[in-house]
Amino acid sequence: MIGKEKSTDPGLSAAERRAFRGAEAKEAMTEHEAALQSFHGNRERLRAERLAREAMAGTMFYPAPELPDNTPIDNVRFSTRIRNALTAAGLKTVGEIREATDATLLGLPDIGKGSVSHLRETLGLPSTDGVRPKDKKPA
């Protein structure tokens, strides 16, 4: 655009307004294209960083009875709340979770009977203290 004039300025003829509108439209499209390129560049950079972090972290496993006892908790797909509670308590491997009693696990902050029964079911161990999975009824 020429100077600080805009297509909405009073005193412009219809031809001048059309010329300014065309220039304003081209400028807006150029700014939009630059913003899109920046957005896509940032998205690809963040994706590459995430993939690199995931590659360094190692393979993630779903909790299962077949997991070896020396599998680190950080490599198991527990919910964030359960993972945070277990790591805050100093537990580092699946074997340490399997060795812990229900009373010990229930004593952890943010871990309740439902979480303990979930851990027992997914890691393939029966409850040691009578905490029953939610969907199971007494016989």
CB 65 within 8 A of CB 123: yes
Output the pTM of the full model: 0.54
Residues 51, 64: one domain? no
pLDDT in tens, 17-53: 888 888 899 999 999 999 999 999 999 999 999 988 8
The whole domain housing 28 covers 6-57
Evaluate whether 78 touches 86 at the Cβ level (below 8 Å).
Answer: yes
Cβ neighbour number for residue 82 with a 10 Å cutoff: 21
Q: What is the CATH number of the domain that holds 105?
A: 1.10.150.20
How far is it, in rounded angstroms, from Cα 76 to Cα 73?
5
Determine what percent of the chain is predicted with pLDDT higher than 90. Answer: 32
Whether 1 is in a domain gets the answer: no
The reported pLDDT for the residue numbered 125 is 77
d(CA 45, CA 62): 28
